[in-house]
Amino acid sequence: MEAPCYGIAASRLRSWTHERGATTAYPPGSRVGSTDRALLARGGHFFRNVRTRYRLRHGRCHHDCRSTCWIGWPIDLDQASIETAQRRAAAFGLENTSFDRADIAAYAPPNPFDAIIGRLVLQFVPNPIAIIERLYGMLRPGGILALQEPTWKLWLTYTAHLPLRLSVTKAARDAFQAGGASTEMEQQLYQGFIASGLHAPQLRVELPLGNSPEFRSLLPDLLAALMPNIIAKGLAIGHLGNLNTLKDRLDQELDRENSFASYVALIGAFGRR
Ligand SMILES: C[S@@+](CC[C@H](N)C(=O)[O-])C[C@H]1O[C@@H](n2cnc3c(N)ncnc32)[C@H](O)[C@@H]1O
């Protein structure tokens, strides 16, 4: 049985605590362990979901690859991301993985891919629909395209009854937008699949909800990570009050309302060439 050659449009790669490239909305030097762990866990879930949905198996690769196992081919624009991904792949014992530092807008793989999986990258590129068409062109016939990107409006809706949490969520969204990132990707994903000729993309949106201490911390940790951007762009956050007490006040609001918290929703789009 031949194995798929996975082109992973951009891997999960590294902690938000590391310096990021200019194309991302994330600030350099922030430490946000809980948001990083959450992103990592959701990435693993997405990847397992794609593997299960399409019954991707291990076996011998039929491309010009050297292994008897599936091949991962992660790319990212940012060298630090690549290095973190390499460390994580080594920690998981993933030997058949070849990392490329590349701009997804210019990347030209040597062989077509059996599956391309990408997450939270298209929101940072100027023309995501054109990139989806490019990715589609990198697939062999029958190959799988699986992309996941954010849609913030559900998070905002589920936070509408929590005025402080809503203000903080909006401040985080504004920081992403001020950094050039798109925060509502569902239409672009859909239109990219349609423009590629994938007329029946499957779409699924996932909104995480929770009330554990770690889950409650995701939002204030995200805001902390975005703070250098917020300052650099001169975004107003005075209405959030004393930042040293923000986390406690957010917790008190949840307790008062006897409510769970939510976090950014991700929309997944899947299709076969
Ligand atoms: C929010 S992180 C997502 C990382 C990873 N895909 C995940 O799901 O955890 C965004 C990543 O997109 C990368 N990126 C942004 N623009 C890119 C481009 N034009 N080509 C390749 N990677 C890019 C950044 O370097 C960064 O590592």
Most confident range (mean pLDDT) of 20-29, 58-67, 81-90, 235-244 is: 235-244
Topology classification of domain 2-153+181-209+264-272: Rossmann fold (3.40.50)
Q: How far is ligand 1, taken at its centre, from the CA of residue 205, in Å?
A: 20
Helix axes 213-232, 33-53, angle to 10 degrees: 110
* pLDDT confidence of residue 49: 76
CA atoms within 13 A of residue 143's CA, in its CB half-sphere: 20
Each residue's pLDDT tens digit, 152-175: 999 999 999 999 999 999 999 999
273's CB contacts (< 8 A; 6+ apart) are 136, 139, 140, 141, 142, 143, 144, 145, 198
Each residue's pLDDT tens digit, 230-267: 999 999 999 999 999 999 999 999 999 999 999 999 99
* pLDDT confidence of residue 205: 96
Q: How far apart are CA 223 and CA 14, in angstroms?
A: 18
Most confident range (mean pLDDT) of 35-44, 83-92, 106-115, 125-134 is: 125-134
Most confident range (mean pLDDT) of 29-33, 42-46, 70-74, 134-138 is: 134-138
Question: What's the rounded mean pLDDT across residues 177-184?
Answer: 96
- Which residue has a Cα nearest atom 3 of ligand 1? 120
Query: Can you name the residues that pair with 100 across neighbouring β-strands?
Result: 75
Q: How far is ligand 1, taken at its centre, from the CA of residue 10, in Å?
A: 6
* pLDDT confidence of residue 81: 84
Best mutation site among 11, 13, 122 for ligand 1 pocket (most ligand atoms within 8 Å of CB): 13
The lowest-confidence range among 28-32, 213-217, 221-225 is: 28-32
**Average pLDDT score, the chain:** 81
pTM for the whole thing? 0.83
% of the chain surpassing 70 pLDDT: 80
Q: Which residues, judged by CB distance below 6 Å to any ligand atom, belong to the binding site of ligand 1? A: 10-13, 21, 23-24, 39, 43, 76-78, 81, 103-105, 119-121, 124-125
If one compares 102 and 47, the residue with the highest pLDDT of the two is 102
Q: How far is ligand 1, taken at its centre, from the CA of residue 36, in Å?
A: 14
- Please report where in the chains the tokens 């997944």 appear, as a residue: 268
Q: How far is ligand 1, taken at its centre, from the CA of residue 120, in Å?
A: 6
Each residue's pLDDT tens digit, 27-63: 333 335 666 677 777 777 777 777 777 766 544 444 4
Best mutation site among 14, 19, 24 for ligand 1 pocket (most ligand atoms within 8 Å of CB): 24
Residue 193 pLDDT exceeds 90: yes
% of the chain surpassing 90 pLDDT: 57
Query: Can you name the residues that pair with 97 across neighbouring β-strands?
Result: 72
Q: How far is ligand 1, taken at its centre, from the CA of residue 14, in Å?
A: 10
b/e sequence 121-135, b meaning 16+ C-beta within 10 Å: bbbbbeebbebbebb
Atom of ligand 1 nearest to the CA of 10: 6
If one compares 111 and 184, the residue with the highest pLDDT of the two is 184
User: What are the extents of the domains in the chain?
Assistant: 2-153+181-209+264-272
User: Which pLDDT band, with edges at 50, 70 and 90, does 3 fall under?
Assistant: very low
Q: How far is ligand 1, taken at its centre, from the CA of residue 245, in Å?
A: 32
Q: How far apart are CA 1 and CA 272, in angstroms?
A: 20
Atom of ligand 1 nearest to the CA of 148: 8
CA nearest to 247, candidates 42, 26, 34, 39:
34
| Concatenated DSSP letters of the chain | -EEPEEEEEE-----TTS---TTSSPPTT---HHHHHHHHHHHHHHHHHHHHHTT---SEESSS---SS-EE--EES-HHHHHHHHHHHHHTT--SB--EE--TTT---SS-EEEEEEES-GGGSS-HHHHHHHHHHTEEEEEEEEEEEEE-HHHHHTTTT-HHHHHHHHHHHHHHHHTT--SB-HHHHHHHHHHHT--S-EEEEE--EE-SHHHHHHHHHHHHHHHHHHHHTT---GGG--GGGHHHHHHHHHHHHT--EE--EEEEEEEE-
Query: Can you name the residues that pair with 74 across neighbouring β-strands?
Result: none
Cβ count within 10 A of residue 150: 23
